[in-house]
Structure 1
Amino acid sequence: MKKYLIAIDAGGTFMKSAIVSNDAEIVDGSIYSTEANSDLDADAVHQGYIRTLETQLANAARQNIELSAVAIDTPGPFDYENGYSLMQHKYKAIYKLPLRPWIQEIVDLPVTFIHDSAAYLTGELWHSPYGDYKNAAGVMIGTGLGFATMKDGVVLRKPDGSPLYSIWQLPYRGRIAEDFISGRGISERYSKVDVSAKEVERRAYAGDSEARRVYETTGDMLGEIIAPYLELVEAKILILGGQISRALPLFKKPLEARLKEIGSLEQITGSQRLESAHMLGSACDCFSRLGLL
């Protein structure tokens, strides 16, 4: 029987949501985004949840959809079982503030939480062309650096719900990995002027040799960082997401060169669900927990 839930991607500045079915369909017209700036006070975040839930309840009512749950993906550190943030770098205003009561005051349904990296990889594989891959890895490159792995069809996580292998703060070249493999890392390594990673990408495609070198170096460094983990899980596919993944053609060859010794690896590809993978992944996780898949 077809079931539906509200999936919320609570990433930081914006909160994105949709109504998702248990066969990985996003209900037409249900995608909604609202500001919920993680640097503002708790009420701003609370109001973001209220707007999101009220909008999705209205969407469900218009289409005569009965909802079964609310599924939320969010970065860590976070207590995914009890539903509160442990972050200090963002969402400081809601540190240790339980979120389930906020949600259940609007809609009396089960609420689940999942790490955003785990949600991303799950969402890329669930009912997708890559769904037959059971050993996989996902990298998200944007303002930060996210990573998740799957072995035998199970996303690998620590007891606290965070990814078993986290790479963003690995020591690397005297700093940490995220300082190099991220939007700001690309901007910093492009020495001509202070421009965005997107602008560096544009210049690379326009023939700027230094801009192209920056992206090629990104691929080489990323491969160096993740190779040991791909080997550990015998990954057959690597899926890249996040806004920087749009520039994959600029750094795919050096990435492939770094990973050529990973005998299990069959495919390196960009995201097929760049805007929806997180919501689909949190939905899949929630439906699974509730026995509704």
Structure 2
Amino acid sequence: MIQNDNKHEQTSGAATNNRLAMIQVGVDIGGSHIAACLYDSIEKRLILDSGSTYHVDPNWEPTKILDTWSAAISTTISCSQSKIAGVGIAIPGPFDYYEGISRITGVNKYESIYGLNIKNELATRLGLADSQVRFINDASAFAIAVSTIGKAKTFDRCLAITLGTGLGASFIVNRKPVFSDSRVPEGGFLYNQPVDGVMADELFSTRGLLHLYHIVSGQRATNALEIYQLAKSDPKARQAFQLFGQELGRFLAPFMGKFNAEVLVLGGNISNAFELFKEPLIEELPIEHVYLSGLMDHAALIGGALLVDDEYYGELSDLIKEM
């Protein structure tokens, strides 16, 4: 159902050193996994044969978490025949992205690494300099990828959102996230915006879709995929997606208008069902350019890898301090 939105994401195999190339490592850390992959900065593509994904229990002790993260990254690095330039990591917050210190607490995951300097811990394990390990918010990594080599690359002002277990968002101007501007909410966040007394994260997420399906059908589903599969034959499931799109559009419209966004790009698991809520979503928005990101799960990896470019990171560094 999803097509790649740029040809450079294709791969022909492992990295080679038959030409000058800067090989970067992109990393995506989630609540229960870590994924890593080499990125070729010349051809602007992930080298998918180098990909590694490890399961992580977020309640493990610090050493086991860090050793597992290191093992996944090392596995990917071992696929490169060229020296890697560095590692860029997309990770959810709260996190001190510039210093590389975890501030995650109160969310029942990764509590054990709170206050640890993850930059130093991983650099030591990987045999890299601290400066070669860089971090960014996962939603911002997604947005950077789609605005650099994805659907939004021809637009100056983009809003990129991810729809899954929560609502991720990033406002982008000329490939750079915007956090402190009168035209965007504080921090560039949308998940914590109130909607009739409820946080947007509760509505525009798996929880919100499940709630809508229960309201219209009287039945309960266990996840978004179940509702998507039911939609093939169940009009109530289709109605739930239609309502989801309509309410999402009404929520996003004032933020996009104030920001003068030119394009909206969607990612995350729920966006796999984009065709089921696309029309009611667009009807509520002040723009016509609304796209599903073909980069999907690869976007955070690409966004992380792009941090390794010193010139680009130099442009982003002050912004990353604000995250």
Given the two structures, how large is their TM-score scaled by the length of structure 2? 0.82
* Conservation of the 8 A alpha-carbon contact between 1:126 and 1:284: no
* Conservation of the 8 A alpha-carbon contact between 2:150 and 2:295: no
Match of residue 66, structure 1, among 64, 83, 87? 83
1:224-243 matches, within 5 Å, as 224-243=250-269
Q: How well do the aligned residues superpose, as a CA RMSD in angstroms? A: 2.0
1:101 corresponding residue in structure 2: 120
| Matched AA of 1:213 | Q
Alignment of 1:131 with 2:153, yes or no, is: yes
Identity between Structure 1 and Structure 2 (%): 24
Q: Please identify runs of 4+ aligned residues in structure 1 that moved more than 6 A.
A: none
* Conservation of the 8 A alpha-carbon contact between 2:90 and 2:141: yes
Offset at residue 128 of structure 1 (A) = 3.3
| Matched AA of 1:289 | Y
Match of residue 248, structure 2, among 195, 206, 222? 222
* C-alpha distance 59-153 of structure 1, shift in aligned 2 (>3 A): closer
Alignment partner of 1:59: what SS? Answer: coil
1:87 corresponding residue in structure 2: 104
2: CA distance between counterparts of 1:274 and 1:18? Answer: 14
Alignment partner of 2:307: what SS? Answer: helix
Which runs of 5 or more structure 2 residues have no equivalent in the other structure? Answer: 1-19, 316-323
* Conservation of the 8 A alpha-carbon contact between 1:73 and 1:115: yes
* Conservation of the 8 A alpha-carbon contact between 1:36 and 1:45: yes
1:120 corresponding residue in structure 2: 142
Offset at residue 33 of structure 1 (A) = 0.6
1:29 corresponding residue in structure 2: 49
2:188 corresponding residue in structure 1: 165
1:38-53 matches, within 5 Å, as 38-53=58-73
| Matched AA of 1:73 | A
1:177 corresponding residue in structure 2: 200
Given the two structures, how large is their TM-score scaled by the length of structure 1? 0.90
Match of residue 228, structure 2, among 193, 201, 217? 201
| Matched AA of 1:168 | Y
Alignment partner of 1:283: what SS? Answer: helix
Which runs of 5 or more structure 1 residues have no equivalent in the other structure? Answer: none
Query: Which of 71-80 and 101-110 deviates more?
Result: 101-110
Offset at residue 249 of structure 1 (A) = 0.7
1: CA distance between counterparts of 2:305 and 2:200? Answer: 30
